[in-house]
Structure 1
């Protein structure tokens, strides 16, 4: 029997993910971090759905040279960076404890038999003996991670001199073989999916809150991401095949993109304003509602070619935020009207209705934003998740 059909007769399903980014295509969380060499990176992740076999996907997709992993391990995480010793397992690659990953490529570990209930918190450690010149990463991380000197993969307790790591490094997915048939839900989006503004360590992002309801959820949000143009991460159209359609066990995708396309395109570019540095990170010309709608139609066609159901989130209010303009608001309303009335998607998640202030519909309710009138706080992301009917994904 092949690995795909191993175990209880069910194939692999992605249970956790972080969208890969180039080191110069994020918020800069790695800027003050010494390039990895002869260090162990230990990262904590919380899976969504459980299973009885597990494998890990590493990414050198934005690497400029081969990546050497000298040793790797996985186990159940204990607070403070420790690993529960009876759960510790060595990760291997084609039966070997070390591997070299070509530049531009991902790699999957060998499967490991390890019973994992839903919402299990895992610790994953990678020993990097050679210089990592260009680290594929995800910016930023809401779960703890550390850098340890030397090969500390087998260390159950975190040494006192461990250095905090503020981003995901080289780790892009955890996949399991479930105990019963299951499908993955991928949430493709920007900072609202990535959880910007939520409290670190509380699992308050929309994908994690949906996982609390028993779904296998893969978070493919990138803060600052756009649908049509690159900038902070490759555009949604560019990364759709890798980050969504290649997901093992994929059944549904939720799209929460387009807001940054419209609002950034509508902002004045006078070259020396207070937001000039921000705007320099977002190249591209004017973007209209019709452009965003055409992008949505591309995602719909590509999803349905694979037999995947595709759902869309309406664009949330932003009046009071630095990026708000009257032109951007008009464009947002036009796109939301199309989303609600076109019938083009399999489902509509009305995030706009969940967040808007009834007395001032172009603003987020005061108790739901993170102080910037744009991103959610913990209550705000819970309001979005609570507005989603989980029966859409069954």
Structure 2
């Protein structure tokens, strides 16, 4: 039993477990693309890790579930061609030494370590059999991985069965952690839809955090892992789509194993507070409670993120808020507030590094708007080229 609970610290000195992939758990409510009730089904999902390691463990979440969830079987493997399991890499996932587990409502569960060497930027296939009924599966609404629902226990299937149906959202899996063989730490990004990658090609790993991981993987020295904790529609100060950033900061970011850096990149507080009260925006804005916030409120929220990050001994970086002129949410007052916040982020000296995404995306002919070749067509979210530009604008030395 001791080996199953091994942290890796005793055998590797200062080295320990590091998170290599993650998503922020969300409630399966009407604000996200949820999962229909499940019974005797296998969830198969493919995720790409940011950095590698010699051992791996999986974190599952029932944190927004209303009843216990029973895991009948689970397996993890490297992903081969055509989304098949790579030969010779499939391993049983155990929990406290057992191949089955029950996750209490409101809780996560961490698997035992698995002796599976995982290369940086490789894909993992994770299969979970749910023998009982699951009425409300904790999920993540923006699905940038690949996933399927398969009837029965298909955890040992190497190829995807013909009975597989597409999974509409990330389900139950909240993190993958590895045990590296060299000095490593994680960069956790707290963000909104522009972090979550709305507008990037689904399943292609083209969010700016994905491209940042690729750039960091090419460097020598300390290995950096990039963890995307963005939620589309998320805010720092109020709930809405997902728990407010300040409320989920400890769970999603500061509790990250191996954490060395935090990036805060949230702009929705000002966008929604200054949004026009039109018929077009009314239905969307109805999902977001709380009073409108001011520039001073948003600055205070950023100061809180910085203080809590530093209290955990990690560096803190902030992204400026990119333009959104031309979108349904735009107002001149909101744009003025955006400029004030960006000036403060750039000049306050609060942050160890600044990711000036506003400077990257703004149109020289109209700085209130995103360049036409960098957004998905809604004047708000990036496309693959836009997110690639953000990633390549980052000075990697801020993470040294």
- Of the three residues 187, 190, 203, the one matched with 2:189 is 187
Q: Is the 8 A contact 2:280 2:328 kept in 1?
A: no
| 2:380 matches 1:374 | yes
CA distance in 2 between counterparts of 1:363 and 1:48 reads 31
Once the two structures are TM-superposed, the CA of residue 208 in structure 1 deviates from its matched residue by 0.8
Q: Deviations over 1:95-136 (max 9, x none)?
A: 100000111111100001111110010000000111112211
CA distance in 2 between counterparts of 1:390 and 1:82 reads 34
Q: Is the 8 A contact 2:276 2:329 kept in 1?
A: no
Once the two structures are TM-superposed, the CA of residue 174 in structure 1 deviates from its matched residue by 0.3
In the superposition, the TM-score normalised over structure 2's length comes to 0.95
Once the two structures are TM-superposed, the CA of residue 37 in structure 1 deviates from its matched residue by 1.0
CA distance in 2 between counterparts of 1:229 and 1:250 reads 25
CA distance in 2 between counterparts of 1:343 and 1:121 reads 38
What residue ranges of structure 2 are gaps of 5+ in the alignment?
218-223
Q: Deviations over 1:362-393 (max 9, x none)?
A: 11011100000110000000110011111111
Superposition CA RMSD, Å:
1.3
CA distance in 2 between counterparts of 1:64 and 1:138 reads 16
Once the two structures are TM-superposed, the CA of residue 34 in structure 1 deviates from its matched residue by 3.0
Query: Where does 1:319-358 land on structure 2 (aligned, <5 Å)?
Result: 319-358=325-364
| 2:148 matches 1:149 | no
Q: For 1:124, what is the secondary structure of its paired residue?
A: strand
Once the two structures are TM-superposed, the CA of residue 7 in structure 1 deviates from its matched residue by 4.8
Q: Is the 8 A contact 2:295 2:337 kept in 1?
A: yes
| 2:13 matches 1:5 | no
Q: Is the 8 A contact 2:192 2:265 kept in 1?
A: yes
Q: Is the 8 A contact 1:51 1:116 kept in 2?
A: yes
Once the two structures are TM-superposed, the CA of residue 8 in structure 1 deviates from its matched residue by 3.7
Q: Is the 8 A contact 1:21 1:136 kept in 2?
A: yes
Once the two structures are TM-superposed, the CA of residue 326 in structure 1 deviates from its matched residue by 1.1
What residue ranges of structure 1 are gaps of 5+ in the alignment?
none
In the superposition, the TM-score normalised over structure 1's length comes to 0.96
- Of the three residues 16, 34, 48, the one matched with 2:21 is 16
Q: Is the 8 A contact 1:357 1:364 kept in 2?
A: yes
Q: Is the 8 A contact 1:80 1:158 kept in 2?
A: no
Query: Where does 1:146-185 land on structure 2 (aligned, <5 Å)?
Result: 146-185=148-187
Aligned to 2:271: 263
* Aligned residue-pair number: 388
Q: Is the 8 A contact 2:144 2:203 kept in 1?
A: yes
Q: Deviations over 1:137-182 (max 9, x none)?
A: 0012112100000011011111111000021000000000111010
- Of the three residues 198, 201, 226, the one matched with 2:200 is 198
